[in-house]
Structure 1
């Protein structure tokens, strides 16, 4: 199995835990406050992770384009987390998490437009199945 697939599966496993643990943690508190607490914890965990793995370098030495795109990515991540936690607070985790994964479809489309990527027909089949799965969960009978 390629390295990217292993890391992707780890990401999926941790994302699943995120949904369940967040749903439990949201009991009785505001979802925006919960997102702030989560962000604070993530900052410290990643700081320790980068330092322990010897990957620390001067962030001010990064190119301006890296700062721009990483900043925009952070804003998008923050907006995603706020929306995700609100959705978890309002809905059932087993429905919210798959709808959140509609991002798979959006990534494929945006990667075509902005990165010049060209998914194969087999890739599109998988993307279509994700879309169909989300529709099954969202649409009422």
Structure 2
């Protein structure tokens, strides 16, 4: 187990920004095709991240990265794009308070995939939290 808790603060900030993403997107996609909205969002992300990487001196030649890195970053990018398209379509037709929590079922899937593909072994306490998330998603999914 890592001794640093720095990851936790970044994860909390990620959750805050993800929550704001859902709210801002729900407001922003009114009267706009969800795929076009996803493209606009992506272009803004590219511009902001390019400026951030450049201004913080973190730019390196991407051609110097290993082929393995390229493959997995490419796969990650494809999965991200597919996730965003699906998320914006769901948000376009559903309530943000329902779509966002169901989208977070990814937490459960990440845990399962991490066990299968990365050999991670969550503790009983961690599995309990993961089960609670899954239960919450089921409550939302079968709400009728």
Secondary structure (helix, strand or coil) at the match of 2:132 reads helix
Of 2, 5, 9 in structure 2, the residue corresponding to residue 2 of structure 1 is: 5
Distance across 2 between alignment mates of 1:140 and 1:6: 33
Say which of 120, 131, 137 aligns to 2:140.
137
| SS, match of residue 58 in structure 2 | coil
Q: Supply the RMSD in Å over aligned alpha carbons.
A: 0.9
TM-score if structure 2 supplies the norm length?
0.96
The reply to whether residue 68 of structure 1 matches residue 71 of structure 2 is yes
* Structure 1 residue 16: Cα displacement: 0.3
1:76-95 alignment, distance < 5 Å: 76-95=79-98
The unaligned stretches of length 5 or more in structure 2 are none
TM-score, normalization by structure 1: 0.98
Deviation (angstroms), 1:138: 1.3
Runs of 4+ residues deviating >6 angstroms = none
1:122 corresponding residue in structure 2: 125
3-state DSSP of counterpart to 2:63: helix
- Are residue 36 (structure 1) and residue 39 (structure 2) matched? yes
C-alpha separation in 2, matches of 1:84 and 1:103:
12
Equivalent in 24, 45, 53 of residue 56 of structure 2: 53
Q: Is 2:19 aligned against 1:11? A: no
* CA distance in structure 1 between the partners assigned to 2:129 and 2:100 by the alignment: 18
Question: Any idea what the Cα deviations from partners look like across 1:62-102, whole Å, max 9, x if unmatched?
Answer: 00000000000000000000000000001000110000000
Shift, 1:140, TM fit: 2.6
1:98 pairs with 2:101: yes
Post-superposition shift, 1:52?
1.0
Aligned residues, how many? 141
Question: CA separation in 1, counterparts of 2:136 and 2:55?
Answer: 40
